[in-house]
């Protein structure tokens, strides 16, 4: 009887079925991010939990400078990789391939949506970044090399807001700057990006 009990105990000890996760912490393929930390996971509807610590704030004109939220930043003498601007100390600005500002839906005036995740998907590659305290986000120049089409969305559980059209390679200055198309100005191609 002791041998049967011992063998049964060893059988159960050697067999594990893993840990049961929660809907808010599955660590799916979109978990982990850029711009300020890792996300806690993807949920059943594909949303990603909001980060308590947002992406790193990108000031302009010094450490306490403005955020330039809502401005087209992929432009000459700013973050256009072929014609980068310089900071007050002469350091070149980082080049961006994609950038923009995410606002909270239904706010007037528009309020930044902090700690939300922006995803760009092209083929099997998924890029993620997190909005900063001004709602700004960016992806480094060269993140998607060559010719591509991509889909993108903004998410903070329980919401996921996809972009209706696809991103495409090329297109010149401002082409991948979300704030180039999504503005509050007259004649804007689309309203500001909200979630």
**Beta strand pairing status for 125-130 and 149-156?**
unpaired
Q: What is the mean pLDDT of the chain?
A: 74
Take residue 160 and report the two structure tokens written for it: 């996921």
Whole-model pTM above 0.85?
no
pLDDT tens digits along 109-123: 999 999 999 999 999
Residues 6+ apart with CB under 8 A from 182: 100, 188, 189, 190, 191, 192, 193
Residues 36, 48 contacting (CB under 8 angstroms)? no
Query: 123: phi > 0 → left, psi -120 to 50 → alpha, else beta; which?
Result: left
Residues 131, 114 contacting (CB under 8 angstroms)? yes
pLDDT tens digits along 144-165: 988 888 999 999 999 999 988 8
pLDDT tens digits along 57-93: 777 766 667 788 888 888 888 888 888 988 777 888 8
């Amino acid at each position: 009887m002791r041998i049967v009990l011992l063998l049964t105990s060893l059988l159960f000890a050697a067999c594990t079925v893993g840990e049961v996760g929660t809907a808010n912490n599955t660590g799916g393929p979109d978990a982990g991010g850029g711009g300020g930390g890792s996300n806690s996971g993807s949920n059943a509807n594909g949303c990603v939990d909001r980060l308590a610590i947002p992406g790193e704030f990108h000031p302009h004109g010094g450490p306490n400078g403005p955020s330039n939220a809502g401005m087209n930043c992929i432009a000459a003498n700013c973050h256009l990789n072929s014609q980068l601007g310089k900071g007050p100390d002469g350091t070149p600005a980082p080049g961006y391939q994609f950038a923009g500002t995410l606002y909270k839906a239904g706010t007037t005036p528009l309020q930044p949506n902090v700690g939300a995740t922006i995803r760009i998907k092209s083929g099997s590659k998924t890029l993620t970044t997190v909005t900063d305290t001004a709602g700004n986000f960016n992806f480094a120049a060269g993140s998607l090399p060559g010719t591509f089409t991509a889909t993108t969305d903004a998410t903070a559980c329980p919401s996921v807001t996809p972009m209706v059209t696809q991103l495409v390679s090329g297109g010149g200055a401002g082409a991948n700057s979300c704030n180039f198309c999504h503005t509050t100005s007259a004649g804007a191609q689309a309203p500001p990006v909200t979630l």
